[in-house]
Every structure is written in C-alpha cells, then in structure tokens.
Structure 1
C-alpha cells in the first residue's frame, strides 16, 4: 500500500507498534537488516512526528509507541493488515517442529514486492517440511482475525520443494515470495 514514505518506514513502525517491549534503533537495524544510520534517521523522523517516544537508558534509546496519539491504534492495525502478515506468521510459526522453511506467495507477496494490483484477498502460505498439521493449525488459529484476511496453507515435502518439474513448485518459484525467518531472534526474545 503506497501510503508510507518508504517500505523501511512501514516495516520499522510495524516492529515498534507491535512489539511487547521497547526496542532500540540498533535492535531495529539488526532485525530489519538495514544500516544503523538509515534506521536512526527514520526513527528521528517518527519521534519528531509524535508517533514514537524515545527513553534514554544508558547509551541506548528505547523506543515505544505513543499510545495517546490518536493515530497509533489505527496505524498499528493498518500496518498489520498491509505489511504485517510476514512478521505475524514468523512469530506464530517459530518453534513449530518439522518445519524446514516457510514463505508467503501469491498476491500478498507480489504487492509486498511492489507489483501493482488490487488488495490481496488472502495470504498464501507455503510450508516446507513435515510439521504436525495440528500444531500448525493451533499456531495459526487466530491469525485470520488479526490479519483481516484468510490464510491459505499449502504443505510441501522437502523432496517436492526440490522438484523443479512440479508445475506448482515452478510457479511459486517464478513469482515473488517472502521467505519467513523462523529462526531469527526477535527483539521480544532478547
């Protein structure tokens, strides 16, 4: 959704507005895999705009949302719906046994990568491995309400994922995807 100044701004706001604990600009730079200086500039803009608040603790500045700003709650929801599926799915699926990799594909991934088109009606999720479907269902149980759209899960064995002659796999691999980092330490984990 082209309403944010940049994709970095949206991803940064999403992290801060949905984090249970305060985060630092260094945490954000590491998590978002962006240069410290770039993240620091964006953080300063968001503090100046009154969307974030910085609290100095030692040498670090811990960032929090400004809950009394009337834009905070609707902005949080808008970010979750537009940029949030990957982050929300990463958090939900982290630790699911037997899951080798996961990626979002289809229209949501295409829009995330800047392809024009209408808003995605759902989120297509491809899981590679042999996870317990019951465990995955439990992990994803309440996400459709959070994301405001249906989550369609496709399970693929590692062998099938490597089969370049499989028409479905070839199609997924030829289109934009957003790979989920199921092993990344998030700022909430410390």
Structure 2
C-alpha cells in the first residue's frame, strides 16, 4: 500500500518510517519490531518490512537474541546523529513532551494542537513555528514549567503551554476550547505502557 510523504518532513517515505526511526534512534534500550508495532499502533508485518529496509540501509542495527531481533541505532553510521536531531525537531515533540510530563501530578490529559499537530496529522502547510500544548487538570504550574524549560533547545521551537481545568475543557461554549477541539489534536500518553515482550 502506497502512503503519502508526511507533511511534517516530506523527505521521509512515510510517517511510519519517520516515527519508527525516531523511536529506535532515541530509545535508551534496544527495541523489537513487536514493541515498535505496539507503540506505533501499526501492523507487525508492515513494521517488520520497514525494519528490514532500515537495517539494509545501515541506519539501524539488529542483534538477534533468541527469536527476537533487538534494534538499536547504527552509531558507526555518520548519518545517525544528524538524522536523530532532524527527527527530534520534526516528529519528536510528542515523544519529548510525553517523557517530560510523565508522572506529574494533576495532569489528567495533554494535547499538542496548532500547526505542529496539523502537520503531524497530514494537513499541508508551512513548517510549524512553535509547539502549542494544552494541559487539562490542575497540576503545579511551577513543576510543569520546570519540566518544560529545557525542551525548547532540544526541539528547536518554543513550547507554549495553556492550562485548562477539566470543567473548562468540557465547556462547548468556551470559544478557545471550541476552536482547539475542532482542529487537529495529538494526544500525549502520560503513563508508560506496561506491556512487555514475552
């Protein structure tokens, strides 16, 4: 099945390819294709094909452990470091924000909205200028601001957080909420997945 090049960075063959590379190149631990398929919510066969292409291209290395192929960055490839940086600033904001916000009390839900979310979901347009984040709940703003303060350098973009109470988020008459909810949103996973490979 042919897919369109991703609007965020059309140099990649598909959004799945870019997200898969991002996961492998930024993970502290080796990943298997089945772990990637779960994380990316993609069919195992599709992920396995993509992994095979990336291993053959020398961007990812595979180490066989039993029946599983553990994937890690090809650190000896001079393209790996700049490719990782490119992926973090284009496809990485959701992943980076998830890690930064994980475990912060009082954040019930978090979404990226605005131009980055629109490009991520395939809406054409210019490159996003910043990352717009809406946090639903009653977290300590000081704790959240501290968690976010160093991300702008990593992401190469300003991160703008808006705090919204759960009651306001449900208010369909609020013009800001109505606008945000009517446009593309990227939900952030704030709790780690408990599923392990057998």
**TM band (smaller chain):** over 0.9
- Does residue 51 (structure 1) correspond to residue 70 (structure 2)? The answer is no
Match of 2:20 among 1, 4, 12: 12
2:38 is the alignment partner of 1:30 = yes
1:107 is matched with 115
Task: Quote the Cα distance in structure 2 between the aligned partners of 1:184 and 1:8.
Answer: 21
Please tell me whether residue 155 in structure 1 is matched to residue 163 in structure 2.
Answer: yes
List alignment gaps of at least 5 residues for structure 2.
Answer: 1-8
Q: Deviations over 1:11-70 (max 9, x none)?
A: 000000000111111110111111111110100000000000000011111001101111
Q: Which runs of 5+ in 1 are unaligned?
A: none
| TM superposition score normalised by structure 2 | 0.92
1:186 deviates by 7.8
Q: Answer yes or no: is the 8 Å Cα contact 1:127–1:155 preserved in 2.
A: yes
What is the alpha-carbon distance in structure 2 between the residues aligned to residue 75 and residue 51 of structure 1? Answer: 9
Deviating above 4 A after TM superposition, structure 1's stretches of 4 or more consecutive aligned residues are none
Task: Report the RMSD for the aligned CA atoms in angstroms.
Answer: 1.4
Q: String of CA shifts for 1:100-131, please: whole Å, max 9, x gaps.
A: 00000001001111111111110000000000
Q: Match of 2:144?
A: 136
State the TM-score, normalized to the length of structure 1.
Answer: 0.96
1:126 equivalent to 2:134? Answer: yes
Task: Report how many residues are paired.
Answer: 188
Name the CA distance, whole Å, in 2 between partners of 1:26 and 1:40. Answer: 8
For residues 128 and 108 of structure 1, the distance between their equivalents in structure 2, rounded to whole angstroms, comes to 19
SS at match of 1:38: helix
SS at match of 1:62: strand
Residue aligned with 2:127, SS: coil
1:152-179 CA distances to partner (integer Å, 9 max, x unpaired)?
0000000000000000000001100101
Equivalence for 1:21: 29
Question: Using a 3 Å threshold, how does the CA distance of structure 1 residues 83 and 142 change in structure 2: closer, same or farther?
Answer: same
CA distance in 2, matches of 1:16, 1:127: 27
Correspondent of 2:71 among 63, 75, 91: 63
Q: Distance in 2 between matches of 1:31 and 1:135?
A: 27
